[in-house]
Amino acid sequence: MSLTDLSSPYAEAQLEDFAVRLYTAAGMDTNMAQSVARLQVLTDAMGRMTHGLAMAPLYLKEIEKGTMATSGQPEIVRDHEVSAVWDGGYLPGLWLMEQAIQTAMPRASRHGMSAMAIRRTHHIGCLAALVKQAADQGYVALIANSDPAGQRVAPYGGTEALFTPNPMAVGYPGADHPVLVDMCASITTTSMTREKYAAGEQFEQPWLLDAKGVPTRDPAVLEHTEPRGSLQLLGGLDYGHKGFGLALMIEALSQGLSGHGRKDAPKRWGGNVFLQVIDPQAFAGREAFAEQMDHLADRCRENRPIDPSRPVRLPGDRAARGITQAKRQGIRYSKTAWAAIGEAASKLGVQTPTALA
């Protein structure tokens, strides 16, 4: 995307303040709004623009419809200290996840690890930004996420969408910054498909299937045509059984362990989450972990690249560069996304921030 397609840059602090004002104007509790704002702006700084403030218009519509709760606490269904189940009651997913991570880290310190299954959260945003919260504190964190109300991905060999893209992420500490692995069971995502369709663009590769199971580059098969198509599983037609297995694993962790899933046929946009936090100190120790993983990181980066102008990088390198750049230069948005954000703000009487010079 060229600079002419981007908005002016905005300082992170101003964006956070703007997002807090936006969500509180819509009725969200201040502490929740602060959490959502902070994590969305961090997501944008990391370069994951589809899951940051671009989600604000959708969140505000959910609040207006009453399908995103704006106050309250999660219900503790079970709590065995090392493991727990929460019912999120469709509270803001980013706030719920921050609460869960803050709960899980001290438990992991006491017991070596801690795991939680959370049902009925609202959208939890960028998983890499969430596992980073634990990795920054020296922990290993894993998050698996599914939406039992969503159907965008067909099982391997099928033509009818059943799963959501089912993302998962792992974050662990590194020498300079955390390593952040963020992936999903499908080749591409719902957000990217919607973005392509809105822009009238095709994917570069046939990452979707039409209703007959024929590969296609056209996002309209998922966003417009009837009967609907589906997103291809990771591995495509030849090796999609691997993505299928990953999707099943994520549903088992997030839905099976939480006791809520597709059998309940929920109709609201939301999600189920599995969170595990591990303290390396309880195993060989944090120093041993760092020695092994930093050595591996060095070996990866020193590996002879296919293209000398594109050296090997680790997941999280790009995010770290983005965070540094955002602090110096601010954050830019696509003009389309910023216009939608501005329109939502105008409806609530919230002033947009002043751009940096």
DSSP annotation string for 19-43: HHHHHHHTT--HHHHHHHHHHHHHH
pLDDT at 195: 83
One domain, residues 128 and 258: yes
pLDDT at 194: 85
Q: Residue 199: which of 225, 223, 229 has the closest Cα?
A: 223
One domain, residues 334 and 194: no
pLDDT in tens, 11-27: 999 999 999 999 999 99
The CA distance from 154 to 140, in Å, is 31
Position 353 in a domain: no
One domain, residues 63 and 105: yes
Decide which of 190 and 273 is more confident. Answer: 273
Return the amino acid letter for 204.
E
Position 8 in a domain: yes
User: Cα(first)–Cα(last) distance of the chain, in Å?
Assistant: 21
One domain, residues 74 and 99: yes
Position 295 in a domain: no
One domain, residues 179 and 130: yes
pLDDT at 192: 86
Which residues on neighbouring strands pair with residue 167, listed in sequence order? 184
The CA distance from 315 to 244, in Å, is 23
Q: How many other CB atoms are found less than 10 A from the CB of residue 206? A: 17
Position 296 in a domain: no
Return the amino acid letter for 27.
G
One domain, residues 222 and 238: no
Instruction: pLDDT band for 1, please (50, 70, 90 cuts).
Output: low
One domain, residues 114 and 261: yes
Instruction: pLDDT band for 5, please (50, 70, 90 cuts).
Output: confident
Give the CA radius of gyration of the chain: 20
Domain that holds residue 199: 188-232
One domain, residues 208 and 276: no
- Count of structural domains within the chain: 2
Token pair recorded at residue 46: 């990391």
Characterize 306-323 residue by residue with b for buried, 16 or more Cβ atoms within 10 angstroms of its Cβ, and e for exposed. eeeeeeeebbbbebbebb
Position 19 in a domain: yes
pLDDT in tens, 166-176: 999 999 999 99
Query: CA angle, corner 338, sides to 337 and 342, nearest 5?
Result: 120
Which residues on neighbouring strands pair with residue 272, listed in sequence order? 146
* CATH number of the domain residue 200 falls in: 3.30.60
Q: Residue 262: which of 145, 148, 153 has the closest Cα?
A: 148
One domain, residues 250 and 225: no
pLDDT at 2: 57
* CATH number of the domain residue 239 falls in: 3.30.1370.60
One domain, residues 134 and 272: yes
Position 225 in a domain: yes
Position 121 in a domain: yes
Position 89 in a domain: yes
Q: Residue 128: which of 322, 283, 289, 285 has the closest Cα?
A: 322
Q: Of the candidates 199, 215, 232, which is a domain's last residue? A: 232
pLDDT in tens, 47-91: 999 899 999 999 999 999 999 999 999 999 999 999 999 999 999
Contact 322, 46 (CB under 8 A): yes
Q: Of the candidates 232, 267, 297, which is a domain's last residue? A: 232
One domain, residues 142 and 207: no
**Is the pTM above the cut of 0.85?**
yes
One domain, residues 13 and 48: yes
